[in-house]
Structure 1
Amino acid sequence: MPTLYHAPNSRSTSILHLIEEMGVADRIDVVDVTVARQDGSGGPDARNPHPEKKVPYLTDGDDYVRERGSIVAYLTDMFPEAGLGRPVGHPQRGQFLSWLFYYQGVMEPVLVLDWAKIDHSALHATFRDLNAVVACLANALENQPYLLGEDYSAVDLLLSSPFQWLPDATPQQPSIQAWITRCANRSALTTVMERDRAGLRV
Structure 2
Amino acid sequence: MLTFYHAPMTRSTRVLTLLVAIGALDAVEVRDVTVMRFDGTGRRDPSNPHPEGKVPLLVQDGEMIWESAAILLHLTDLFPESGLGVPVGDPQRGRYLSWLAWYAGVMEPALIHDAAGLSHPFLSATFRGPAEIRDRLSSALSTSDWLVGGRYTAADLLVSSPYLWFKDLDPGCDRIRDWVARCAAHPARATAMQMDGTALAA
TM-score, structure 1 length as denominator?
0.97
What corresponds to 1:40 in structure 2?
A: 40
The answer to whether the aligner puts 1:196 opposite 2:185 as a matched pair is no
What corresponds to 2:78 in structure 1?
A: 78
Unpaired segments of 5 or more residues in structure 2? Answer: none
1:150 Cα deviation from its structure 2 partner? 2.1
Q: Distance in 1 between matches of 2:171 and 2:149?
A: 20
What corresponds to 2:152 in structure 1?
A: 152
The answer to whether the aligner puts 1:3 opposite 2:3 as a matched pair is yes
What corresponds to 1:30 in structure 2?
A: 30
What corresponds to 2:65 in structure 1?
A: 65
Q: Which amino acid aligns with 2:105?
A: G
1:38 Cα deviation from its structure 2 partner? 1.2
Q: Distance in 2 between matches of 1:135 and 1:22?
A: 30
Q: Distance in 2 between matches of 1:25 and 1:130?
A: 35
Q: Which amino acid aligns with 1:96?
A: Y
1:62 Cα deviation from its structure 2 partner? 2.2
Alignment of 1:113-192 (within 5 A): 113-192=113-192
Q: Distance in 1 between matches of 2:58 and 2:46?
A: 16
Q: Distance in 1 between matches of 2:197 and 2:113?
A: 27
Q: Which amino acid aligns with 2:183?
A: C
Deviations 1:114-168 (A, max 9, x none): 1111111110011111111111100000121001142111100000011111121
Q: Which amino acid aligns with 1:53?
A: G
Q: Distance in 2 between matches of 1:61 and 1:30?
A: 15
1:111 Cα deviation from its structure 2 partner? 0.8
Q: Distance in 1 between matches of 2:86 and 2:149?
A: 13
Poorly superposed stretches of 4+, deviation over 2 Å: none
**What is the root-mean-square deviation of aligned Cα atoms in Å?**
1.0
- Aligned-pair identity (%): 47
Q: Distance in 1 between matches of 2:3 and 2:17?
A: 15
1:194 Cα deviation from its structure 2 partner? 1.2
What corresponds to 1:96 in structure 2?
A: 96
Q: Distance in 1 between matches of 2:172 and 2:127?
A: 21
Q: Which amino acid aligns with 1:70?
A: A
What corresponds to 1:107 in structure 2?
A: 107
1:83 Cα deviation from its structure 2 partner? 0.5
Q: Which amino acid aligns with 2:168?
A: D
1:174 Cα deviation from its structure 2 partner? 1.0
Unpaired segments of 5 or more residues in structure 1? Answer: none
